[in-house]
Amino acid sequence: MNLEWMAWTPVTAGFFITIALILIGMTIWEIKSPCVARRGLLPLITTRGDRLFIGLLGSAYIHLSWVGLTDFPLWIATVISVCFLTALMRWG
């Protein structure tokens, strides 16, 4: 039986470590300062966790669209995604 294993490159490991650190940080933030659901840029009432989930999902779509539709360097999509996530967490 031949099993294919995921290639754990430094970039892949960094991605998963970053996601884990974001989740740990959000957990600590929620314990220290419980959030209140609010309405911001999004047309629905959201909590911090909701905005983080929507932001990460949106960032994934930005990257997939970027890879599928352009030939530009991927770091540009990363900058756009970070700006999107930051704006969503702050004003979303």
3 falls within a domain: no
34 falls within a domain: yes
80 SS3 class: helix
* Residue 2 reports pLDDT greater than 70: no
Number of domains in the chain: 1
* Residue 1 reports pLDDT greater than 80: no
CA nearest 92: which of 60, 36, 56, 52? 52
- Beta bridge partners, 46, equal 38
Q: What is the pLDDT of residues 19-70, one digit of tens each?
A: 999 999 999 998 999 888 888 888 889 888 889 999 999 999 999 999 999 9
* Residue-level pLDDT at 6: 67
Q: Which domain holds residue 76?
A: 10-91
84 falls within a domain: yes
- Beta bridge partners, 45, equal 39
State the Cα–Cα distance between residues 87 and 92, nearest whole angstrom: 7
41 falls within a domain: yes
50 falls within a domain: yes
What Rg do the C-alpha atoms of the chain give, in angstroms?
A: 16
pLDDT band at 83 (very low <50, low <70, confident <90, very high): very high
31 falls within a domain: yes
Q: What is the pLDDT of residues 16-28, one digit of tens each?
A: 899 999 999 999 9
